[in-house]
Structure 1
Amino acid sequence: MTRRHFRNFVFFPFSFLVVLITIIWIATPFIAKHYLTAYFTEHDKTLSIENLSVDFFPPKIDMKNLTLTDQTQSTMSLKHAVFEVRIWPLISRTIHISEAEIDGFNITVAQQENDWIVAGINTAQYINKEDIKTEENSETSDQKESAPWKIELPVFSFTNSRLSLSRQPNLTAPAELDEISLKALKIKDLSGEGLQWEGDITLSALVNQASLSLNSQFNYSPELINADITIDKTSLSIESFQHFIPAPFNAGKGQLNLDSRFQFEQKQVNGVVSYKLKNLNFSSTIKELDLELNDTDRVTTDATTLALTKASVHFFSADKLEASGLLDLQSKQSTFSQSDQTIQFSQLAFALPIDVKRNEQGLTANIENTTLEINDLLAALDNLDVDSKALNIGLTDVAFSMDPQEAITASLSSQIQSKVLSVKQAENTANYELFNLSNTLSLTKGKDILSAQNDKLSIDIKGLNALQGDGKSLSLETAKLTVEQLLADIQLPADNQFEPETQQAAPILTGTNINFSSQMLDVKMADNKRMAEWENADINELSFTQQDETFELTLTQLAIIGLTLSEALTTTKDEQALLPLSHIGKITIEDIAANQDGAKINTIVTNSLKVNLMIDAEKRIENLVFVEEKKQASLTPTLKGSTSPKNTDAEVIIEGTPDAEQNPAFKAPYYVILNTFDTTGDSGIYVQDNSISPTLQRSLEIDTLSLRNLNTQDKEQATVFELKARNGKYSTLTSDVTIWPLADKLTMKSELVIKEAELPPYSSYIANALGYQINSGQLDLDLKLNSNDGVLDGNSHVLLRKFELGGRKESSSVVSAGAIPLNMAVGILKDSNDNIDLEIPLSGDINNPEFGWTNFMILPVRKALYSVSSSYLMQTFVPYANVISIVQFAGEQLLKVRVEPLIFEAGDNQLNDSQDVFLQQLLALMRDKKDSQLKVCGITSYLDLGYETPPKSLDADTQAIAKTLAQDRSNHLKDYLVEQGITSSRILLCSPEIDLSKSSKPRVVLTF
């Protein structure tokens, strides 16, 4: 190439190009400013740019201090912006932005109805143009796409910028103002080609007063998305977003602090998308929250923190996922209120580790250790108030699995501790100081059965108190329950659903090795009525199995120490305390086996058994608190035949009734088998009866009280009862009874021996039967009584020492009473030592409807007394045989004095010679019994009126005649006795009477 050629084809073109580029480079800023200024001037805006620099080698734009203003204020400003692109990468279709920076960019945006005004320019004017461009772009998109360009951006910074947003969708409402401040937005190592991008983004911004900080590294492609995201120093307040929040939530207050870091991965393999979230550490704290949910619901909290750490989630599909992590919730001074219901607490802490997997083998979940702690809990709900000082719940080794056939297996171990809890419901209250529970629970659900198993259950409670509104109360110092195993097996219906109408087997419940102990139990019906109290109670090795009404139970030992039953308490200092109905120093029951048909007990031992019977003036048991006073039945014993069915009855009914199995009205008796019952220690019975005068106060000290071989299942088994007791120092009672309780009719052998029993204290109880009070006397009784199939046979040897009955012994009282008094008979029977010695045979058939135990015991004594003394009494009244006759009646158990009437001739009212013997004996009796008074009643018979048979009625005149006749007979007899020296005041006349009975006779009836 010649020099001319070089100059014409190289130098000059190159020089021209350099000059042209230089001119463009120098002119471009001015041209750009000119057109930009002209554009904004058309919109009544003023644009100023302090410096605008455009470079071509390499391409670079540098702008400083751009300001866009309208008549009143700045609508957009830019402190500094620079963009630089490298040229050489363009050859390889790569846009490499070597430098990109925006600093101090401020812009105002306003929404007015449907118009958006950006930097003071209404964008509505560009809508049509945008539509045209969209159509052009759609046509271009139909052409074949070329290879995508690659973009590289090593660093991009967007700092100290602000967006002022004003929204006024409705011009009648005030505008809503928001300000978004971008402290820093940095993008590093951003590169992408087509749909594949990667880079690092850091963001720090303010929205109103809310701060946001974000850092993310991402890698994006259609097949794989990876992102490492960090959110920290983020603080959001409700006040900053009030106009974005719907009512009534926008009236709330509070601040949310958010910190989070996680890695996100989205992968697509063979058209299947999976999501993975790993290394998730999330923490959110709400402070000073006061939020109204609606007109009645409100939530407040001083500080609540929710944290999720070391978490990961891998989601393949709804049927395949994995999740793990630790969820932690902390809350302080929080309140939830709804209408008149409120729940609040000072502190709540909840920690939940999560490990969940679901795949083609089923669903599994494992939780290593979960804790819940609530302090100072207060709950005021409908008719329920709860106050808890501290509640701690811990769950360990939680495991759950479900296979594709929905067979379920679950297990967990739990620890629950509650301190100082009180509950109030209406007028009922309950509280305790400490409650502890620990157990291991497992659940298995198969195709046709559901099993729940509870192992190593332990429950402790201290300081329990409960009070009902009706005055009933319970207090318990300590109690502990341990259970080795509880098992429930539930048969599922064919469709594996629980429906009440579905016919299915009843659940099977099983308990193994249950132990219970308690101290200081006190149960009251009211402040002045104690139902039961004990110092200590233990249940050892209780096991049971139950299905519907069928059950089996075994118990090694039941022991209660210091048991008090039914005690009337004093409410004031002036009241005198009553003894409890029963107090047992210790009761021990060993080796119990029971089922729905009966119970077997090996031994029962009571130590220091005390029974106190306190009877008030109305014959009510004062220290019996289980029954209201007005409902207490009479204490008078009424012994009747038993109406309880026996085994023979059951056999007859079952064998004789074809549909007995379908008829549930009859059930065979519940059998009881007791090998041994003993009472030891200082035992006794005390009776205080204020219903009699003088008050009875007697104590019976028990030396021996035992029962052997009680068996209501074996007809051939005899039961032996033995009693040895003392009353005071000298009176003793011994009883030995052998009875066959299952015999069809009463079968027994018994012997009762009483020595030196003082009788006066019991006078009031037997006064009605004897007819007299007992003034003195001592009893020795040797009773042998046997029964064979209900037929009683026995003998009673009775020795009465110095036996004296109250009442007068004069003969006049005998005549006045009409019956021979028992005290007279007693006096007749005494020997030279003032004793009465009787042998009394006893016999009777208890199956006889007329048989009664009272008559069986008392009447033989009366009969013995009267039988021995009857001959003497007959001789006593021989001189007055025409006037007085002795009648023996009531099975020869009573003697009665009967005064014969004075008989008249029909129609006669005068005394005659035929009556002389009667009148002389009557006159002698009146002179002998000077204290007696005689009642004289004249009676007219139908014979006096001339009738052969008694008429149905009499007219008034006939009645007057008849009564006059009867009255004359009474007058004439009184006149005779007065003429013979009998004081007239001793002779009492009664109203005349008419006797129309068929056997009536004209007479005067005499009564002493």
Structure 2
Amino acid sequence: MKRRYFRNFVFYPFAVLTGLITALWVATPFVVEHYLIAYFHQQGEDASIGKLSVDFFPPKVDLKNITINNKTQDTLTLKRAVFEVEILPLLTKTVHISEAKIEGLNLLVAQQENNWIVAGIDTAQYLAKNTENEPKADDTEQEDVSPTRSPWKIKLPTFTVTDSQVNLSRQQDLAKPVESDTFRLSSLSIKGLSGHELNWKGNIVLSALVNQASLSINSDFDYTPEQANADISIKNLHLPIESFHHFLPSPFDEVKGQFNLAGKFQLRQKQVNGAPVFTVNNLDLETQVDSLDLYLNETDHLETQSTSLTLTQSNIEYVSANQLSITGAIALQSEQSRITQAGQLIQFGQLSVKAPLDIKRDVLDGEPTLTLNNLNLEAQVEALDLNLNETDSLATQSTSLKLTQSNIKFVSANLLSVIGTLELQSKQSHFTQANQVIQYGQLNLNTPLDIKRDALGLTAKSATTQIDMTDVSVALNSLAVENETTHIGLSNLAVTMDPQETLTASLTAEIQSNKLSVRQAGNTANYDVFNLSNTLSVRKEGDTITAKNTQLDININGLKATQIDGKQLSLGAATLTAEQLNVKQENQQPPLLEGVNLNFSSQLLDSLLSNEKRAASWKSADFNNLSFTQQDQKFDVSFAQLNVADLLLSQALSDEKNKQLPPLSHIGSIKINSVEANQDGASINTIATDSVNVNLIIDKQKRLENLVFIKADQQKTPQSSLESSNTPREKDVEDTVNMQDPAFKAPYYVILEAYDTTGTSSINVQDNSISPTLLRSLEIETLSLRKLNTKNKDQATVLALRARNGKYAILQSDITIWPLADKLTMKSELIIKEAELPPYSSYIANILGYQIDSGQLDLDLKLNSENGVLDGNSHILLREFDLGGRKESNSVIKAGAIPLNIAVSILKDSKNNIDLDIPLSGDIDNPEFGWQDFLLLPVRKALFTASSSYLMQTFVPYANVISIAQFAGDQLLKIRVEPLLFEAKESNLNASQDVFIKQLIALMKDKKDSQLKACGVASYLDLGFDNPPVSIDDAAKDVAKNLAQDRAHYLKDHLVKEGISSSRIYLCSPEIDLSKSSKPRVELNF
């Protein structure tokens, strides 16, 4: 019974089941193959399956050598595919795929317009069916009342796809050519994949080619809706951009180049307060673009030979746009790059940027905040060339920039902070703008940064800033500057600005510059060394600007300047120091300048008007303890002492014969002590000069040859006349007084306590305008001045002079004068001893008309003035004083003023001296008063008075021939030679003329050097007229002239017969005198 039951209920059912399963196992491959082939036949394709194996225990499908063909090409080929599923895990709702592998899959996918054709099958047919089966919009949705079920799980220990390829062709517009792409999957490996619903984890390894692009990715991932983790490694991403042109929009579809990417990172995502937070850890990324050539449009172009960007050890946390943090390091390298935009060009040979990253963006106090911590940026560019337009460009051989230990915090434009150190190095840089060029060999900048802006304002600090420049060249429109080296050091720099825009700045500066030259419009200037150091503070508050400069120290060496007109200036060295130098300006008023304790020193100054003319030079000059204030026209200045050594003024370096002339003035030293001055006047304690030498070189045109400040043709020849060209009149004086401005301001006053000249001083004169040339030297032994005060009218000034001319001539003068008295008030005495007069003969000959043959002068002049009234006495002693004839004639007698040398001899005493004592008096308020007349006319009058009686007696024997008259204030004698009268129509001599003729013969015999000129004159009486006619005819003229000529001839013949040489008698052309008082005569003149 038991066997029967077993056989019926166990054995036979199991046998049947086994048979069925075996039948299914045997038939399934054939059935599947049949239906697959039939399906593809329906799609118009041929299908072949090399082998199809299906196992049930465990379930496994193994396909080999599948080929789908559409009569023209294979649309799908598969070398092998294996899938195996374990049975027992299914009981726990787990699909465990123990084996999954695809090998040698080749798939053809095509897109035509909006239809996709996969392996020759048009998917549009299935999309249409799905659309028909979709429920209508107004269908009532059924409520899902199914009970909650546990989800199915999937486990895939390993899945590989190898040696597979997808060929994609796209033709969205049938009028355009087909675009083809190839996706080659060298290998795809998925390991440890498991999950359910949205929870998954596993490992993916991918190696593929897309067209010519290669990609390798390795990733471990673990994803849940609450968090996600992924470790991703990208290796050897190589992308030739040309192979993706058809995927890129215009204008990027024309780009050329290659893109490479490699890197690894860990991606984390989690939910915080319902918002996703993304974290990227251990990011190492290397990107590189080679041979990039990109045209954005006709004017914008980018190309680079090689550019790489590297991120290392980076971490990124992203919460939102306002909450972000980045740490790590970034490096950028670019070679042979060129960027063009709208006519602007930038290109460089190499660019390098390196920087650690510590960037944080967060929300603090309701404000988004960006923070960069521990920033160490290194950037370098080689062979940079930037062209902004046709005229503006920048080029540099090498430039590097470093930011070290920097921290930057940015909230808004009104809330930021920057701390760090900036280093800049640039070599061989060149800037051009509109034909203006700036270039330098090297620039180094090093400065710490501490900048802060908050609600209290802006502050900027820098402990030490160093700037070094070499080979600087600046070429502007009309200015060129060249500088060999410059060093600028700034320390304790501090700048603050409060919300009311009150600006305060302070710094300590040190500048060192070597070999600088400046050229502008033909003018040049250069120096060898320039040094400056100072402490400066500036404050701007509203309309008030204040600048305070303390501890100023300026030094310059080797300064030279040349103007286009030939003027030159050179300075060996100069130093200026100042305890304080301040500027203050309020409400657009003129600035107030203030200086305290300024000290200046200089050496070797030389100022030239041209290569042939020196204006001034000195060996050294300095002043000390100078203080001043100045605002607009008002100023106040004082200093302790001014010293000038070896001062030279006005020197002609060469004349026409290339001979160097002595300077107009040379002063060994000048010392000025205790000076106080303002806009109204100056007060000086003492002035001392040592070894003052003045050289007056006068040329033949009476011009100073060594006066170089005025051109020779601009110097006026001095007038020799003693008389004023314009005699003042009383009315002129009255008009001047009446027209005086009632608001007249007193002139600039001068107060000088003492002036002294020491050492060997002299005045040297060389006058080439006279013959022989005058060479004289006045050696000054003493020259002093005391108590000069043009402010106090009661203060007397005392002037003392002691000088010597040669070995024996002495000049001594003492003057006491009240400069500010209403009218001239003074006491003076002048003493001259043993002054030789012949050297000055030419001056007297030019002025008075006499030559000095010999003579020596002693003068004792005492002259006082009380309120403009002069009173004094001049005692003159002339030793061996002899005057020659007039300069223009050798005649003893000549019509006009009689020469005084004829009478001077009568004034001499037994020692051959002339001793004159001349009183002096006058009133300078008299409009006809003149100093030349006041001093010289008394001398002339004394000589004339003493000699006039002698002259009268001398010519008494010849009274019929010579008449003498006094005129011009009894200071001149007028000599007149009377004419020889004739009867009308007569030419022969007669008895009535005997007395006249005898005296004429005696005079000529007595004065043997005299010469006589005889001119015959005919009167209207000779022509028979009783009254002068209006005119006469030519015949009458001839008769009259012949008659006049005969009269002169008869007179000459008679004088010759009496023993007078014919060579002493001259006849002139006959004349006709038709005046009413005319008489027949012969005019005589000596």
TM-score range for the pair, normalised by the shorter chain length:
0.7 to 0.9
Match of 2:682?
599
Match of 2:948 among 870, 877, 896: 870
SS of 2:320's partner is coil
**1:515 touches 1:538 (CA, 8 Å); kept in 2?**
yes
**1:702 touches 1:726 (CA, 8 Å); kept in 2?**
yes
Instruction: Give the TM-score normalised by structure 1.
Output: 0.83
SS of 1:195's partner is strand
Match of 1:107?
210
**2:804 touches 2:810 (CA, 8 Å); kept in 1?**
yes
1:93-127: CA deviations, max 9, x gaps? 7x56454555x5543489xxxxxxx99xxxxxxxx
2:514 aligned with 1:432, yes or no?
A: no
2:611 aligned with 1:527, yes or no?
A: yes
Match of 1:498?
none
Match of 1:716 among 794, 801, 805: 794
How do 1:28-427 and structure 2 match up within 5 A? 29-30=101-102, 37=107, 39=109, 56-57=154-155, 63=161, 75-77=182-184, 82=189, 95=199, 97=201, 99=203, 101-102=205-206, 104-108=207-211, 149-153=225-229, 155-166=231-242, 167=245, 175-187=254-266, 191=270, 194-200=275-281, 201-208=283-290, 209-215=306-312, 216-222=314-320, 225-239=323-337, 242=338, 245-246=340-341, 252-268=347-363, 272-337=367-432, 341-427=436-522
1:64-119: CA deviations, max 9, x gaps? 5655568999944555555567757x69x7x56454555x5543489xxxxxxx99
**In the superposition, relative to structure 1, how do residues 668 and 105 fare at CA in structure 2: closer, same or farther (>3 Å)?**
farther
Match of 2:810?
732
Give the distance between the partners of 1:457 and 1:653, measured in 2 at CA: 54
**In the superposition, relative to structure 1, how do residues 803 and 461 fare at CA in structure 2: closer, same or farther (>3 Å)?**
same
2:1014 aligned with 1:936, yes or no?
A: yes
Match of 2:97?
25
**1:231 touches 1:258 (CA, 8 Å); kept in 2?**
no
Match of 2:536?
441
**1:225 touches 1:264 (CA, 8 Å); kept in 2?**
no
Identical aligned residues as a percent: 50
Residue type of the alignment partner of 1:550: K
Match of 1:142?
none
Give the distance between the partners of 2:564 and 2:649, measured in 1 at CA: 22
Give the distance between the partners of 2:490 and 2:597, measured in 1 at CA: 24
Give the distance between the partners of 2:1011 and 2:1059, measured in 1 at CA: 14
Give the distance between the partners of 1:980 and 1:224, measured in 2 at CA: 142
Give the distance between the partners of 1:80 and 1:817, measured in 2 at CA: 143
Give the distance between the partners of 1:515 and 1:255, measured in 2 at CA: 53
Give the distance between the partners of 2:265 and 2:814, measured in 1 at CA: 107
Give the distance between the partners of 2:946 and 2:721, measured in 1 at CA: 30
**In the superposition, relative to structure 1, how do residues 818 and 383 fare at CA in structure 2: closer, same or farther (>3 Å)?**
closer
Residue type of the alignment partner of 2:604: M
SS of 1:575's partner is coil
SS of 2:850's partner is coil
More displaced stretch, 771-780 vs 20-29: 20-29
**In the superposition, relative to structure 1, how do residues 14 and 76 fare at CA in structure 2: closer, same or farther (>3 Å)?**
closer
2:832 aligned with 1:762, yes or no?
A: no
Give the distance between the partners of 1:650 and 1:323, measured in 2 at CA: 78
Distance apart, 1:964 and its partner CA: 5.6
SS of 2:107's partner is helix
Distance apart, 1:955 and its partner CA: 5.8
Match of 1:587 among 670, 674, 682: 670
Distance apart, 1:521 and its partner CA: 0.8
Residue type of the alignment partner of 2:635: F
SS of 1:221's partner is strand
SS of 1:439's partner is strand
Distance apart, 1:679 and its partner CA: 0.5
Give the distance between the partners of 1:214 and 1:642, measured in 2 at CA: 102
**1:105 touches 1:161 (CA, 8 Å); kept in 2?**
no
How do 1:738-757 and structure 2 match up within 5 A? 738-757=816-835
Residue type of the alignment partner of 1:211: S
**1:474 touches 1:524 (CA, 8 Å); kept in 2?**
yes
Distance apart, 1:826 and its partner CA: 2.3
Distance apart, 1:463 and its partner CA: 1.1
Give the distance between the partners of 2:972 and 2:342, measured in 1 at CA: 101
**In the superposition, relative to structure 1, how do residues 777 and 74 fare at CA in structure 2: closer, same or farther (>3 Å)?**
same
Match of 2:630 among 534, 537, 546: 546
1:658-714: CA deviations, max 9, x gaps? xx5xxxxx6542222222111111111111111211111111111101111222222
SS of 1:25's partner is strand
Give the distance between the partners of 1:79 and 1:362, measured in 2 at CA: 64
Match of 1:629 among 687, 690, 712: 712
**In the superposition, relative to structure 1, how do residues 203 and 172 fare at CA in structure 2: closer, same or farther (>3 Å)?**
closer
**In the superposition, relative to structure 1, how do residues 254 and 515 fare at CA in structure 2: closer, same or farther (>3 Å)?**
same
**In the superposition, relative to structure 1, how do residues 951 and 848 fare at CA in structure 2: closer, same or farther (>3 Å)?**
farther
Distance apart, 1:823 and its partner CA: 2.6
SS of 2:784's partner is strand
2:915 aligned with 1:837, yes or no?
A: yes
1:482-503: CA deviations, max 9, x gaps? 12222222122xxxxxxxxxxx
More displaced stretch, 900-909 vs 299-308: 900-909
2:653 aligned with 1:569, yes or no?
A: yes
Residue type of the alignment partner of 2:772: P
**Greater radius of gyration (CA):** 2
Q: Which runs of 5+ in 1 are unaligned?
A: 5-10, 47-54, 111-117, 120-146, 493-503, 661-665
Distance apart, 1:318 and its partner CA: 2.6
Distance apart, 1:539 and its partner CA: 1.6
**In the superposition, relative to structure 1, how do residues 604 and 14 fare at CA in structure 2: closer, same or farther (>3 Å)?**
closer
More displaced stretch, 262-271 vs 541-550: 262-271
Give the distance between the partners of 2:487 and 2:349, measured in 1 at CA: 28
**In the superposition, relative to structure 1, how do residues 714 and 955 fare at CA in structure 2: closer, same or farther (>3 Å)?**
farther
Give the distance between the partners of 2:666 and 2:381, measured in 1 at CA: 61
Match of 2:968?
890
2:565 aligned with 1:470, yes or no?
A: yes
**1:677 touches 1:707 (CA, 8 Å); kept in 2?**
yes
Match of 2:751 among 670, 673, 677: 673
SS of 1:868's partner is helix
**2:109 touches 2:168 (CA, 8 Å); kept in 1?**
no
Give the distance between the partners of 2:971 and 2:465, measured in 1 at CA: 87
**In the superposition, relative to structure 1, how do residues 515 and 65 fare at CA in structure 2: closer, same or farther (>3 Å)?**
farther
Q: Which runs of 5+ in 2 are unaligned?
A: 1-8, 10-57, 60-84, 121-152, 170-178, 216-222, 291-305
Residue type of the alignment partner of 1:177: K
2:1001 aligned with 1:923, yes or no?
A: yes
Match of 1:501?
none
Give the distance between the partners of 1:839 and 1:655, measured in 2 at CA: 42
Give the distance between the partners of 2:886 and 2:388, measured in 1 at CA: 95
SS of 1:813's partner is coil
Give the distance between the partners of 1:715 and 1:638, measured in 2 at CA: 35
Distance apart, 1:356 and its partner CA: 1.9
SS of 2:658's partner is coil
Residue type of the alignment partner of 1:212: L
Match of 2:44?
none
**In the superposition, relative to structure 1, how do residues 43 and 603 fare at CA in structure 2: closer, same or farther (>3 Å)?**
farther
**1:106 touches 1:163 (CA, 8 Å); kept in 2?**
no
**1:862 touches 1:894 (CA, 8 Å); kept in 2?**
no
**In the superposition, relative to structure 1, how do residues 716 and 949 fare at CA in structure 2: closer, same or farther (>3 Å)?**
farther
